[in-house]
Amino acid sequence: MTLRLFNTLSGQLDPLIPLDGKALGMYACGPTVYDYGHIGNFRTFLHIDVLRRFLRLTGVEVRQVMNITDVDDKIIRNAAAAGQPIGAYTAPYEEAFFADLDALRIERPELIARATDHIPQMAALIERLAKAGAAYRTDDGSWYFRIAAFPAYGKLSKKDLSGMEDGARVDVDDYEKDSARDFALWKAAKPGETSWETPLGRGRPGWHIECSTMAMEYLGESFDLHAGGEDLIFPHHENEIAQSETATGKPFARHWMHVRFLLVDGRKMSKSEGNFYTLRDLLLKGYRASAIRLALISVPYRHPLNFTFDSLADSTGAIDRLRTFRARLVSGPFPEGQNPALEAAALAAREAYRAALANDLNTADARAPVFDLVRSANTAMDKSEFFLGNRAAVLAVLEDFDAVFAVIADHDAEATRRALAWARGSGRMDSVAPELVASASISDAEVDTLVAERNQAKKQRNFARADAIRAQLAAKGIVIEDSKDGTRWKRK
């Protein structure tokens, strides 16, 4: 089953197939590590994760490269204000980024490249552009890309460049959306700023050249797919194309994927608007990492998503249904035999699920048949119309679902525990939900011991003791569920 994915460059759905017939080479613009990521950032990384997981589910090998932008205007400014070298300033944010990826079950790219580890390669690419007449040096020792040297400039963002002012320059990385300007490739060192000695002179790279350099270093001059959030189409990705294709004379990425924004009340979630939540904020309010993941991926990547707390509550409920169903499916017991209608429904659900994802990663359409199947299988179980022979096909649907959605297997407690440890270590316990603090004060082993003691008490008909233990656990946010197959517990 071949994935057909919208390509910003061609403006249509194109099949996504590895050019080399082996592994799909993809580059995703990574974080700028000057602060904690907000869940808008993670919406983009999550959909890229959905892409790579679906490719692997359909047998396509992936080679993903992601950059870490560990030098830029903001980092230099913030590090100076904190009186730290930039590496010391960025290290904790880089670590936090990876912890957040883990919490959200976003797979690590095959290769992670830090900008500051690739300065000589960046300088070499700029020299190549200078030789081609597409880069020029200004009096202060900075270097700019001459966009007039690349006639195809604007082909990704489909911008009309007729009003373009030749030679007008900009030196900030992320500039106005409606004007095309010559942009900085290399910024001359200013006193006190971090800089590197290169054949271009002393200075530091611009943001756009980082990505061109590292993408081509690890994926070759032409590769399969480049991805990022929609705000990167212009100027960042337009500039990457201009730099790379001018230097090599070859097409850069063939396919461009852009994830639409996470919004709050209709406006982009962003640091500068102040309307953002970090993943940590939400985990420490008591939301589960899996619910955040599901809420952020259930709306397909080509639609903007308005963030609401209701959607987190809905996702929590949906995940509970899936987990409870899976436990019921695995533990049985079911009578020998098979229900042919249910068997057919399971096969059809799996087909519909994969087809929806193959159609431009439509996660909403992919979810629906899975939840429908859970509903009908539950009904069949209630009516004793579910048989042992139905288990494998239904389980296969859940496995396919979790290969991409990754919310049924429960890693939530670990994510929350790590967020709590971070809150404790950085003096932020006052922002933690009280029930979470209580829950964290008891370990899994302690809960197991109390649950066993309660079962013992019940057996001895000491119901007062059993009830006291239940109440003691409830106070710490632990819910006990008794069933004929034994006692299960979970953290609220």
Q: Which is nearer to Zn ion, 29 or 39 (CB)?
A: 29
Q: Which is nearer to ligand AMP, 100 or 400 (CB)?
A: 100
Least distance in angstroms from the C-beta of 129 to Zn ion: 17
Dist CA 50 CA 3 (whole Å): 12
Answer yes or no: are the C-beta atoms of 50 and 363 closer than 8 Å.
Answer: yes
Q: Which is nearer to Zn ion, 113 or 381 (CB)?
A: 113
Answer yes or no: are the C-beta atoms of 49 and 107 closer than 8 Å.
Answer: yes
Q: Using CB under 5 A as the criterion, what x/- string covers residues 183-222 for binding Zn ion?
A: ----------------------------x-----------
Would you tell me how many other CB atoms lie within 10 Å of the CB of residue 335? 11
Stretch that binds Zn ion, among 23-31, 43-51, 92-100, 446-454 (CB under 5 A): 23-31
Q: Hey, what are 58's tokens?
A: 């359909």
Q: Which is nearer to ligand AMP, 32 or 390 (CB)?
A: 32
Least distance in angstroms from the C-beta of 195 to ligand AMP: 22
Provide the binding-site residues for ligand AMP, judged by CB under 6 A. 29, 31-32, 40-41, 43-44, 228-229, 231-232, 259, 261-262, 268-270
Q: Which is nearer to ligand AMP, 46 or 451 (CB)?
A: 46
Beta-sheet pairing, 23-28 with 61-68:
parallel
Answer yes or no: are the C-beta atoms of 405 and 294 closer than 8 Å.
Answer: yes
Dist CA 442 CA 104 (whole Å): 24
Q: Choose from Zn ion, ligand AMP, none: what does 211 bind? Cβ within 5-8 Å by kind.
A: Zn ion
Least distance in angstroms from the C-beta of 239 to ligand AMP: 14
Dist CA 345 CA 36 (whole Å): 44
Answer yes or no: are the C-beta atoms of 356 and 365 closer than 8 Å.
Answer: yes
Q: For residue 294, which amino acid is it?
A: L
Q: Choose from ligand AMP, Zn ion, none: what does 43 bind? Cβ within 5-8 Å by kind.
A: ligand AMP
Compute φ and ψ for 395, nearest 5 degrees: -60, -35
Who contacts 47 (Cβ-Cβ below 8 Å, separation ≥6)?
A: 259, 297, 301, 361
Q: Using CB under 5 A as the criterion, what x/- string covers residues 25-44 for binding Zn ion?
A: ----x---------------
Least distance in angstroms from the C-beta of 28 to Zn ion: 8
Q: Which is nearer to ligand AMP, 162 or 272 (CB)?
A: 272
- Helix (H/G/I), strand (E/B), else coil: 277: coil
Helices (H) then strands (E): counts for the chain: 16, 18
Q: Which is nearer to ligand AMP, 205 or 369 (CB)?
A: 205
User: Quick check: bond before 333 cis, omega within 30?
Assistant: yes
Stretch that binds Zn ion, among 22-30, 277-285, 340-348, 383-391 (CB under 5 A): 22-30
Least distance in angstroms from the C-beta of 139 to Zn ion: 29
User: Which chain residues interact with Zn ion by CB under 5 A?
Assistant: 29, 211
